[in-house]
Chains A and B, each alone.
Chain A
Amino acid sequence: MATSSNRTTAGRTTARPVYIVDGARTPFLKARSGPGAFRPSDLAVRAGQALLARQPFAPDALDEVILGCIMPGPEEANIARVVSLRLGCGDRVPAWTVQRNCATGMQAIDCAAQAIAGGRSELVLAGGSEAMSHAPVLLGADMTRWLAEWAGARAFGDRARLLARLRPAHFKPVIALLLGLTDPVVGLSMGQTAEIISRRYGITRAEMDAFAVRSHQRLAAAQAEGRLGEVVPLIDARGEVHDHDDGVRPDSSEARLARLKPFFDREFGNVTPGNSSQITDGAAWLLLASEDAVKAHDLPVLGRLVDTQWAGLDPRQMGFGPVHAAVPLLKRKRLGLDKIDYWEINEAFAGQVLACLRAFADPVYCREELRLRNAMGEIDQERLNVDGGAIALGHPVGSSGARIVLHLLEVLRQRDARRGVAAICIGGGQGGAMLLERS
């Protein structure tokens, strides 16, 4: 602890405070059959239009636009710039795209916060967007090579020879989405890493399913009671209205979920599509401002982004990432778990979130993995993901990190609470956590 605080406080003594003044997101739309109605840039543009329209400043008053996106469309190179221009921010507002796998949206916010804290920017639009339903289907390397040779072949004989070489295997499509959800270094899918850490704490299938059911119930209740004010409705080109996170299943039950087969470790596993986050399209934005900008434009403050922590860990156990990021963050600020009013921990998998909770409370884990003397403690599940999570509303990988920060601020506001932590696990073995505060 001491080592890390020495390293980080040096730069922070002069840092300026960073405020989050507003935010908005699209409904999270479950990928059903084929590409959804909106590309990643479309999602970000629609949410951004609604957010910017209600600001007292014009879009060109922004200092920069930072958007996270893992799989932009082929026509969306530096998608942040595409979106910024489409939002009418003008030629002179620079924009850049960031990527940190599942924490991409949170990374965008961190970049914005650093620019403001360091005095480089006053007003930044940051967020994430992902349209997982638009993930491309690719050609394999063999087919790509074959096509290259075909393009080079002129003579009839060459072409005939090439045609004769073509095999059915050449046409096997490569699903980019599945590859993206697999760790190439350790050769495990994300679901398998969840199997590993939930096994480590003996979390049962029934516990996972119960957690999943509760996520759906909480989201359904939040929708019914209007607690998702950050969602702006969309209308697609066919005139269809999308006004809520449509992956929710208010009628979800443990009995139903029990019928689903494990997906990643098919025979003996516990992780099913029902207790995992969904494949979903969605975008989320936050508007970050310096104190000067808050004053200059008379902006309402939603909360202060106090601090951020990133952590690396064994890629096979990437699901513990939230613990590895949140612990040093809290220790640096000398805050115990009792000082945190609400938590958002991204629900990549039910077993993964439950394993995190066990790890926080496990003196052995905290000692051996986090160099603490004692366990960090228990997190009250009544203060965790109170309006549901990615199991119910989906995990558009590029935007979830921004969504949980935005919704945590909503939760703090609605419940008149002071402090919250948003944390997320990151494929490849990382974790990210942000501490937010309302005064």
Chain B
Amino acid sequence: MNAETEMTASEQREPIALADVHNWRLERDGEGLLWLTLDCADSTTNTLSSVVLEELGRALEGVVANAGRGLVVTSAKASGFAAGADIREFDHMRDADETARQVMTVHALFERLERLDMPTVARVHGFCLGGGLELALACRHVVAAADDGTRLGFPEILLGIHPGFGGTVRAVRYCGALAALDLMLTGRTIDARRAQRLGLVDRAVPARHLDAAARHFASDWRPAREAGWQARATSQRLVRPLAAFAMRREVAKRASKQHYPAPYALIDLWREHGGDERAMLRAEAHSIATLLTTPTSRNLVRLFKLQERLKGLGRGDGAAPRRVHVVGAGTMGGDIAAWCALRGMQVTLQDRAPEYMGGAFKRAAALFDKRVRDRAARLAVGDRLVMDLAGNGIARADVIIEAIVEDVEAKRALFRDLEARARPDALLATNTSSIQLADIAGALENPSRLVGVHFFNPVSRMQIVEVIGDETTAAAATARALGFVTAIDRLPLPTASAPGFLVNRVLSPYLQEAMVMLDEGVPIDAIDGAARQFGMAMGPLEMADTVGLDICLHVGEILAGAFGGEVPAVLRRHVEQRRLGHKTGAGFYTYAKGKPVRRKAGDSPLAPADIRDRMLLRLLNEAVACLRDGVVADADLVDVGMVFATGFAPFRGGPLNYARDRGVPETLGRLRQLEGRYGDRFAPDEGWQLLERTS
């Protein structure tokens, strides 16, 4: 922004040398204000690594030595203010006492900033998350850009921890406990206007006025913002236990204390110390240090890094695609098209007749209404999704996605037509879940640009997209597919063209074992309950209903054809009776107003641990088989795929991570035991040694 606007003489800045500081710049402007700019070396985003924090200490010495009228803390990065602490350093934090000491050093540092003898202002644009937001809150004032790109929040809870650089104290101080804890417990991010309403920032201003607002607050002592009396009232000693009780009850609906300790620790921290900032700060350091040593945090941090790894796969240097053409306006095609439009693509959606497309446009309108609040932006996203009966978009598309019926001949015919009409450099992609790439590729003159992009339902919630290539696929095509998936803000998972790819293949035995047990007379709630107890977002039978039993059967048959085994009879029966799950109002559950009707679990012939292991170990066994078959490159990809495509208990870090945590010999022993009891389908895959070696 600075580059685009002329600076007046008083706004010109003179650099001030700082010894041994590489990530911060200190300058003085003509009005005597100091500008401290964070500019992390060799990175496009600012993170608060231990080096950056150490240097902040030295930079603050420079600030004191140069006694300005006021201080503005800002960022040189286009991406934003600061993204938070450096997650890579979390690995070293295994000793709680040592970690607590380190955290308290940062507390002291931020307090020095807070107590400088001059007005301090954080000038915030773009991402201001976690530790970045805590740094901003250590300034007396915060001004933030009121635009779409600016997001503030405390995402720590998603990593199994809570804010640790004084954020719990300062957020409560400025926003009141209810708003502050809500922000920290959900991990959601908010825009600058909302942050101003909550009291997190002084002013949300258009980016063009950000410098002026920063100078306004830095040039004189202005009143600090304060939480209102209602917000303060909740922090009273007698009120806190009541409020904390209500919060715990809300949190318990979403996460159990055993699986996710952080939200409970955060509530306890405030309940005990909410009336005393100094004590709360100390307790914050110990609490976060303890949380960092929990397996939950370790697993969630690992998954976060794996997400970053997948995003990195799509960051090639090729031009990002802009035009997407989707053929087939069914549930998947329609939702893919809508998602692409939401993420800024120009999308044409094709089907045989308008009557097949009504549902797609209706769901798209609902998605856009929910996700896009700004009126002008809402209008634009609606205009980006265009009905295209004639396929006029084919000739202009960068990416063409097929999502028609799962029929090889139909797909071959379609791709022949697409190949003739598409630009020679357009990427051709199929969303097939069950057909091998090679079977479609045979129809093409040049199959090297054909890839699979396998989305999961619902597209707007399932982050993983399997990107499938085989030996005929050009490396450049795969790279572009990875780039495309990243450009629409999903996680690309490179997968071999093998039956069921990764996710469906691993999930299928788990769902089927649940069905077999149901057939044996195990109550449905005992089965789904055991899975939820383990930490799954949804039980297997409810999940099967959600996916659609016809689709489960189809995938099951493909897999049985490829790898042997049988599809459970109960699944076949349901499909014959057109009880297809949620979409027909009845499957394994019956549905009233779209919700499954739950009954109390009757007596189960099986112990919960047996129910759990029968389902789970078949899943683990298949995950191992996929690893051995090279369906994905390594065990990490199996884990990240299963967590973000199916909701496999995230705090357990994925199936293979769980197997290793549980112990490979123990797990193998249990498999053999089940094999003895229930037969071949539990025979341990020979790939288990692979896992043993790497663990």
Compute how far the CA of A233 lies from the CA of B386 in the bound complex, rounded to whole angstroms: 11
Question: Given that A86-B379, A88-B346, A237-B365 are contacting pairs, would A49 and B386 also be in contact in the complex, using a CB cutoff of 8 Å?
Answer: yes
Beta-carbon contacts under 8 Å, A228-244 to B: 233, 235-241, 243
Cβ-based interface call for B630 (8 A): no
Are B362 and A53 in touch, CB under 8 angstroms?
Answer: no
Are A241 and B355 in touch, CB under 8 angstroms?
Answer: yes
Compute how far the CA of A221 lies from the CA of B233 in the bound complex, rounded to whole angstroms: 74
Most buried by B among A88, A235, A236: A235
- CB neighbours (8 Å) of B359 from chain A are 239
Question: Given that A53-B348, A54-B392 are contacting pairs, would A235 and B357 also be in contact in the complex, using a CB cutoff of 8 Å?
Answer: yes
Beta-carbon contacts under 8 Å, B386-407 to A: 386-390, 392-393
Cβ-based interface call for A66 (8 A): no
Question: Given that A88-B346, A233-B387, A239-B362 are contacting pairs, would A53 and B393 also be in contact in the complex, using a CB cutoff of 8 Å?
Answer: yes
Compute how far the CA of A310 lies from the CA of B629 in the bound complex, rounded to whole angstroms: 78
Question: Given that A45-B383, A86-B379, A86-B383 are contacting pairs, would A241 and B354 also be in contact in the complex, using a CB cutoff of 8 Å?
Answer: yes
Compute how far the CA of A240 lies from the CA of B365 in the bound complex, rounded to whole angstroms: 12
Beta-carbon contacts under 8 Å, B312-354 to A: 346, 348, 354
Compute how far the CA of A50 lies from the CA of B383 in the bound complex, rounded to whole angstroms: 12
Beta-carbon contacts under 8 Å, B138-167 to A: none
Output the least CB separation between A58 and chain B (Å): 8
- CB neighbours (8 Å) of B386 from chain A are 49-50, 53
Partner of B390, one of A45, A54, A86, A240: A54
- CB neighbours (8 Å) of A50 from chain B are 386-387
Among residues of B, the one whose C-beta sits closest to the C-beta of A87 is: B383
Question: Given that A53-B386, A233-B387, A235-B387 are contacting pairs, would A243 and B354 also be in contact in the complex, using a CB cutoff of 8 Å?
Answer: yes
- CB neighbours (8 Å) of B260 from chain A are none
**Across the A-B interface, how many residue pairs have beta carbons closer than 8 Å?**
46
Are B358 and A240 in touch, CB under 8 angstroms?
Answer: yes
- CB neighbours (8 Å) of B81 from chain A are none
Beta-carbon contacts under 8 Å, B371-394 to A: 379-380, 383, 386-390, 392-393
Question: Given that A54-B392, A88-B346 are contacting pairs, would A235 and B383 also be in contact in the complex, using a CB cutoff of 8 Å?
Answer: no
Question: Given that A53-B348, A53-B393 are contacting pairs, would A241 and B388 also be in contact in the complex, using a CB cutoff of 8 Å?
Answer: no
Give the number of residues in B that approach A within 8 Å (Cβ atoms).
Answer: 22
Cβ-based interface call for B651 (8 A): no
Cβ-based interface call for B510 (8 A): no
Compute how far the CA of A50 lies from the CA of B354 in the bound complex, rounded to whole angstroms: 13
Are A238 and B354 in touch, CB under 8 angstroms?
Answer: no
Beta-carbon contacts under 8 Å, A12-38 to B: none
Compute how far the CA of A243 lies from the CA of B356 in the bound complex, rounded to whole angstroms: 13
Cβ-based interface call for B455 (8 A): no
Output the least CB separation between B596 and chain A (Å): 25
Among residues of A, the one whose C-beta sits closest to the C-beta of B358 is: A239
Are A237 and B362 in touch, CB under 8 angstroms?
Answer: yes
Output the least CB separation between B327 and chain A (Å): 15
Compute how far the CA of A88 lies from the CA of B386 in the bound complex, rounded to whole angstroms: 12
Cβ-based interface call for B648 (8 A): no
Compute how far the CA of A54 lies from the CA of B383 in the bound complex, rounded to whole angstroms: 17
Cβ-based interface call for B361 (8 A): yes
- CB neighbours (8 Å) of A240 from chain B are 358
Compute how far the CA of A236 lies from the CA of B389 in the bound complex, rounded to whole angstroms: 16
- CB neighbours (8 Å) of B383 from chain A are 45, 49, 86-88
Compute how far the CA of A239 lies from the CA of B362 in the bound complex, rounded to whole angstroms: 4
* Main secondary structure on B side of the interface with A: helix
Output the least CB separation between B230 and chain A (Å): 30
Compute how far the CA of A49 lies from the CA of B388 in the bound complex, rounded to whole angstroms: 9
- CB neighbours (8 Å) of B360 from chain A are 239
Output the least CB separation between A12 and chain B (Å): 36
Are B358 and A235 in touch, CB under 8 angstroms?
Answer: yes
Compute how far the CA of A233 lies from the CA of B356 in the bound complex, rounded to whole angstroms: 12
Question: Given that A45-B383, A88-B346, A233-B354 are contacting pairs, would A239 and B390 also be in contact in the complex, using a CB cutoff of 8 Å?
Answer: no
- CB neighbours (8 Å) of A49 from chain B are 383, 386
Beta-carbon contacts under 8 Å, A37-73 to B: 45, 49-50, 53-54
Compute how far the CA of A54 lies from the CA of B392 in the bound complex, rounded to whole angstroms: 6
Question: Given that A233-B387, A235-B387 are contacting pairs, would A241 and B358 also be in contact in the complex, using a CB cutoff of 8 Å?
Answer: yes
Output the least CB separation between B325 and chain A (Å): 11
Question: Given that A86-B379, A241-B354, A241-B355 are contacting pairs, would A233 and B362 also be in contact in the complex, using a CB cutoff of 8 Å?
Answer: no
Among residues of A, the one whose C-beta sits closest to the C-beta of B365 is: A237
Output the least CB separation between B379 and chain A (Å): 7
Compute how far the CA of A144 lies from the CA of B41 in the bound complex, rounded to whole angstroms: 62
Beta-carbon contacts under 8 Å, B635-662 to A: none
Are B361 and A235 in touch, CB under 8 angstroms?
Answer: yes
- CB neighbours (8 Å) of B389 from chain A are 233
Most buried by A among B359, B379, B380: B379
Among residues of B, the one whose C-beta sits closest to the C-beta of A45 is: B383
Question: Given that A49-B386, A53-B348, A53-B386 are contacting pairs, would A237 and B392 also be in contact in the complex, using a CB cutoff of 8 Å?
Answer: no
- CB neighbours (8 Å) of B346 from chain A are 88
Output the least CB separation between B504 and chain A (Å): 29
Beta-carbon contacts under 8 Å, A83-100 to B: 86-88
Output the least CB separation between A179 and chain B (Å): 29
Are B354 and A235 in touch, CB under 8 angstroms?
Answer: yes
- CB neighbours (8 Å) of A45 from chain B are 383
Among residues of A, the one whose C-beta sits closest to the C-beta of B389 is: A233
Among residues of B, the one whose C-beta sits closest to the C-beta of A41 is: B379
Compute how far the CA of A191 lies from the CA of B344 in the bound complex, rounded to whole angstroms: 49
Are A238 and B362 in touch, CB under 8 angstroms?
Answer: yes
- CB neighbours (8 Å) of B379 from chain A are 86
Compute how far the CA of A169 lies from the CA of B432 in the bound complex, rounded to whole angstroms: 65
- CB neighbours (8 Å) of A88 from chain B are 346, 383
Among residues of A, the one whose C-beta sits closest to the C-beta of B384 is: A88
Among residues of A, the one whose C-beta sits closest to the C-beta of B375 is: A75
Output the least CB separation between A339 and chain B (Å): 36
Among residues of B, the one whose C-beta sits closest to the C-beta of A238 is: B362
Compute how far the CA of A85 lies from the CA of B528 in the bound complex, rounded to whole angstroms: 52
Among residues of A, the one whose C-beta sits closest to the C-beta of B355 is: A241
- CB neighbours (8 Å) of B365 from chain A are 237-239
- CB neighbours (8 Å) of B358 from chain A are 235, 239-241
Compute how far the CA of A49 lies from the CA of B392 in the bound complex, rounded to whole angstroms: 11
Compute how far the CA of A3 lies from the CA of B457 in the bound complex, rounded to whole angstroms: 73
Partner of B361, one of A53, A239, A243: A239
Among residues of B, the one whose C-beta sits closest to the C-beta of A235 is: B361
Compute how far the CA of A243 lies from the CA of B361 in the bound complex, rounded to whole angstroms: 15
- Kindly supply a per-residue 1/0 record for chain A positions 333-377, scoring 1 wherever the CB is within 8 Å of any chain B CB and 0 otherwise: 000000000000000000000000000000000000000000000
Compute how far the CA of A252 lies from the CA of B671 in the bound complex, rounded to whole angstroms: 76
Among residues of A, the one whose C-beta sits closest to the C-beta of B348 is: A53
- CB neighbours (8 Å) of A239 from chain B are 358-363, 365
Compute how far the CA of A376 lies from the CA of B552 in the bound complex, rounded to whole angstroms: 75
- CB neighbours (8 Å) of B387 from chain A are 50, 233, 235
Compute how far the CA of A243 lies from the CA of B359 in the bound complex, rounded to whole angstroms: 15
- CB neighbours (8 Å) of B363 from chain A are 239
Are B355 and A53 in touch, CB under 8 angstroms?
Answer: no
Among residues of B, the one whose C-beta sits closest to the C-beta of A243 is: B354
Compute how far the CA of A210 lies from the CA of B358 in the bound complex, rounded to whole angstroms: 38
Compute how far the CA of A238 lies from the CA of B364 in the bound complex, rounded to whole angstroms: 10
Output the least CB separation between A85 and chain B (Å): 9
Most buried by A among B359, B387, B389: B387
Q: List 25 A-B contacts (CB under 8 A).
A: A45-B383, A49-B383, A49-B386, A53-B392, A86-B379, A86-B383, A88-B346, A233-B354, A233-B387, A235-B354, A235-B357, A235-B358, A235-B361, A235-B387, A236-B361, A237-B361, A237-B365, A238-B365, A239-B358, A239-B359, A239-B360, A239-B362, A239-B363, A241-B358, A243-B354
* 6 pairs of A and B residues whose beta carbons are closest in the complex: A239-B362, A239-B358, A237-B365, A53-B392, A233-B354, A235-B361
20 more A-B contacts (CB under 8 A) besides A239-B360, A239-B361, A243-B354? A49-B386, A50-B386, A53-B386, A53-B393, A54-B390, A86-B383, A87-B383, A233-B354, A233-B387, A233-B389, A235-B357, A235-B358, A235-B361, A235-B387, A237-B365, A238-B362, A239-B358, A239-B363, A241-B354, A241-B358
Residues of A within 8 A of B (CB): 45, 49-50, 53-54, 86-88, 233, 235-241, 243
